[in-house]
Amino acid sequence: MSAVLDVRGVVKAFGENVVLRGVDLAVDEHRVVALIGGSGSGKSTLLRCASLLEVVDDGQVLLDGEDITDPRVDADAVRRRLGVVFQAYNLFPHLSVLDNVTLAPVRVHGRSRSEAREEALGLLERIGLADKSGEYPDRLSGGQQQRVAIARALAVRPRVLLLDEITSALDPELVGEVLRLVREVAEQGMTIVMATHEMGFAKQVADTVCFLDRGVVLESGPPDQVLGDPVEARTRQFLSRIIDAGRL
Amino acid sequence: MFAVVAYLVVTSSPGWPRVQTTFFSLEVARDSFPSILRGLWLNVQVLLIAAVCVVVLGLGIAALRTLRGPAFAPLRFLATAYVDLFRGMPLIITLYLVGFGLPALRLQGIPTSYFVLGTVAIVLTYSAYVAEVFRAGIESVHPSQRAAARSLGLTHRQMMRIVVLPQAVRNVTPALLNDFVALQKDVGLISVLGAIDAVRAAQIYVGQTFNFTPYVVAGLLFVLLAVPTARIADAVSARARRRQQSGSTL
Ligand SMILES: Nc1ncnc2c1ncn2[C@@H]1O[C@H](COP(=O)(O)OP(=O)(O)O)[C@@H](O)[C@H]1O
Ligand SMILES: [Mg+2]
């Protein structure tokens, strides 16, 4: 089985600050990869490189075998095949929930308005927010906003869903509903890469956990192994800090 | 209270009777009113045309100034130079240079109407100001909004048009309305070119009668013109404040 997303030796620096020093990461179809690591370890940078929001300095990212970091590649066309959700400020505040979801299908994928609308309403129904389709994002709770952001990403039928700490900015009582949706989406077979601090969730839902440290994937494997019995001392250190913070 | 005191002080001052007849003569006001009002119509036309041009040009310049990446450095430089030049230059100098300088070149196709030239000068100055307002608005849009737009596959143009500019404009509407109020009175400056606007009409009348009442009439008309916009600006600011207070962080 060939990987949907294949990150090979990616290097990325901001000036003097070398954030990624040769990251390798292969994500097979229908798999969920959880990206863990300390704050500033480069999780967001890696996801931004994979979604072509940053230009890599070296290495490659392959999407379905195609090198998308090749400068001759049409970056807009590549992004159309990806779904991305960030920590916050995902939804466009001047557009209704429905318009947020139909924007890309209509403007980017050239679907008809009525078709996009119908599909968007179906998605909103699925996430239990059909009654909010006419509302503006600021009338929704943070958890509802993130769920709409996931629905919007799914509306373009992406090959892979990239989630960057999508629950980190939420009040604790809103985290559950968002993670439940991610689990559902994963169970339906979506390929997912998610940077997260929710170790319990990673343990239950991820097929692979990757620990990012000092610009490389220091350790990766099944969650039970990486989270339960890590090989690397630095992974253990990181996890014990997380446990102290009460998140495992 | 203060107004009453001020009124009493002014009306009891030794020079008041004379001031009253030369500045506040009802008779002169009645006589000069029709021609001043006709002049004001010219100001209103300049105002409306200039406002539209200013918004379009200002948006364009702001979009150029906020382009990122080294490839756009020349465009950014030109836009910055434009803003520096016309924001720094006093409007009255720009009016003289455009109004008297351009026609003196005697080039084919250069308009000679002071109405057109005055409008051009005003647009040059105000678009530089408004470009800066728009730029502030564009930069106030959270970077994640751009990332979200691009990751949906929108092109840079689509991102600007559909996501960034609508939010930018909404964020700076109070500031824009403020500039509109300023523009409403600055259109009176086209009188220095000789266009027969409200100010010029008043001036002609003053020249004939040596009574300054027409200036007061013209001034009051400009104030009346500005009041509705000022109230709208207040309402919009209040609404924006409410939205900011109720808006969540996510
Ligand atoms: N646009 C940027 N410009 C400069 N430095 C950046 C930029 N984005 C990220 N960094 C730096 O890269 C490092 C990794 O950041 P990030 O990828 O956000 O880490 P994480 O998501 O794991 O917390 C940090 O030191 C951060 O300061
Ligand atoms: Mg991050």
Q: Of the residues A11, A21, A44, A167, which should be mutated to test ligand 1's pocket, given the most ligand atoms within 8 Å of the CB?
A: A44
Same domain, A190 and A77: yes
- For residue B12, is pLDDT > 90? no
Residues A25-32 have a mean pLDDT of: 95
Report whether B50 contacts B122 (CB < 8 A): yes
Q: Is the pTM of this model over 0.90?
A: no
Does any domain span residue B4? no
Residue A21 host element (H or E) = strand A17-27
For chain A, the domain total comes to: 2
Does any domain span residue B11? no
Does any domain span residue A42? yes
Same domain, A150 and A183: no
- For residue B215, is pLDDT > 60? yes
Q: Which two tokens stand for residue B88?
A: 């720094």
Can you give the pLDDT at residue A79? 93
Residues B241-250 have a mean pLDDT of: 58
Can you give the pLDDT at residue A246? 67
B106's torsion region: left (phi>0), alpha (psi -120 to 50) or beta?
A: left
- For residue B249, is pLDDT > 50? no
Does any domain span residue A115? yes
| Prediction ipTM score | 0.90
Same domain, A146 and A176: no
Q: Over the Cα atoms of chain A, what is R_g?
A: 18
Can you give the pLDDT at residue A244? 80
Same domain, A247 and A164: yes
Paired sense of beta strands A32-36 and A192-195, if any: parallel
Whose structure tokens read 């927010």? A129
d(C-alpha A84, C-alpha A158), whole Å: 9
Residue A5 host element (H or E) = strand A5-14
Q: Which two tokens stand for residue A109?
A: 């994928």
Average pLDDT score over chain B: 89
Nearest CA in chain B to A75: B153
Q: Supply the range of the domain harboring residue A151.
A: 91-157
Can you give the pLDDT at residue A248? 56
Q: Kindly give the distance from the C-alpha atom of residue A214 to the centroid of ligand 2, in angstroms, as a whole number.
A: 14
Does any domain span residue A175? yes
For chain B, the domain total comes to: 1
Q: Which of A157, A176, A193 is the last residue of a domain?
A: A157
Inspect the interface and report whether the beta carbons of B144 and A88 lie closer than 8 Å: yes
pLDDT digits (tens, 9 = 90+) for A159-206: 999 999 999 999 988 999 999 999 999 999 999 999 999 999 999 999
CB-neighbour burial class of residue B195 (10 A; exposed 0-12, middle 13-18, buried 19+):
buried
In single-letter form, the type of residue at position B178 comes to N
- For residue B108, is pLDDT > 90? no
Does any domain span residue B245? no
- For residue B95, is pLDDT > 80? yes
Does any domain span residue A227? yes
Among the listed residues B39, B40, B50, the one whose alpha carbon sits nearest the alpha carbon of residue B196? B39
Residues B143-147 have a mean pLDDT of: 93
Q: What is the CATH number of the domain that holds B140?
A: 1.10.3720.10
State the pLDDT confidence band at B232, using cuts at 50, 70 and 90. Answer: confident
Paired sense of beta strands A58-63 and A32-36, if any: unpaired
Does any domain span residue A113? yes
Among the listed residues A39, A38, A42, A47, the one whose alpha carbon sits nearest the alpha carbon of residue A85? A47
Q: Which two tokens stand for residue A238?
A: 């990181």
Q: Which two tokens stand for residue B249?
A: 């962080």
Inspect the interface and report whether the beta carbons of B148 and A80 lie closer than 8 Å: no
Does any domain span residue A36? yes
Q: Which residues pair with A32 in a beta bridge?
A: A192
Nearest CA in chain A to B246: A138
Q: Which two tokens stand for residue B215?
A: 């200036």
Does any domain span residue B115? yes
Does any domain span residue B8? no
Asked which of A80-84, A93-97, B205-209 is least confident by mean pLDDT, the reply is B205-209
Same domain, A168 and A248: yes
Can you give the pLDDT at residue B235? 87
Residues A38-65 have a mean pLDDT of: 94
Can you give the pLDDT at residue B104? 83
Residues A110-122 have a mean pLDDT of: 94
A103 touches B at CB < 8 Å: yes
Inspect the interface and report whether the beta carbons of B250 and A152 lie closer than 8 Å: no
Does any domain span residue B183? yes
Q: Supply the range of the domain harboring residue B63.
A: 22-240
pLDDT over 70 percentage in chain A: 98
Inspect the interface and report whether the beta carbons of A94 and B153 lie closer than 8 Å: no
Quickly list DSSP for chain B. -HHHHHHHHHHTSTTHHHHHHHH--HHHHHHHHHHHHHHHHHHHHHHHHHHHHHHHHHHHHHHHHT--SGGGHHHHHHHHHHHHHHHHS-HHHHHHIIIIIHHHT--TT----HHHHHHHHHHHHHHHHHHHHHHHHHHTS-HHHHHHHHHTT--HHHIIIIIIHHHHHHHHHHHHHHHHHHHHHHGGGGGGGT---HHHHHHHHHHHH---HHHHHHHHHHHHHHHHHHHHHHHHHHHHHHHHHH----
Same domain, A187 and A76: yes
pLDDT digits (tens, 9 = 90+) for B67-88: 888 889 999 999 999 999 999 9
Paired sense of beta strands A216-221 and A208-213, if any: antiparallel
Same domain, A126 and A174: no
Quickly list DSSP for A139-151. GS-HHHHHHHHHH
Q: Which residues pair with A25 in a beta bridge?
A: A7
The answer to whether the CB of A89 is under 6 A from ligand 1 is: no
Q: Which of A157, A191, A210 is the last residue of a domain?
A: A157
Same domain, A205 and A244: yes
- For residue A133, is pLDDT > 90? yes
d(C-alpha A201, C-alpha A247), whole Å: 10
Does any domain span residue B2? no
Side-chain half-sphere exposure of B60, counting CA atoms within 13 A: 11
Does any domain span residue A1? no
Residue A11 host element (H or E) = strand A5-14
- Cβ atoms within 10 Å of B239's Cβ, excluding its own: 12
Same domain, A169 and A221: yes
Q: Which residues pair with A234 in a beta bridge?
A: none
Q: Kindly give the distance from the C-alpha atom of residue A13 to the centroid of ligand 1, in angstroms, as a whole number.
A: 9
- For residue A217, is pLDDT > 90? yes
Does any domain span residue A22? no
pLDDT digits (tens, 9 = 90+) for B149-170: 999 999 999 999 999 999 999 8
A51 touches B at CB < 8 Å: yes
Can you give the pLDDT at residue A103? 96
Q: Which of A157, A190, A209 is the last residue of a domain?
A: A157
* Closest residue by CA, ligand 1 atom 9: A45
Does any domain span residue B13? no
Can you give the pLDDT at residue B250? 45
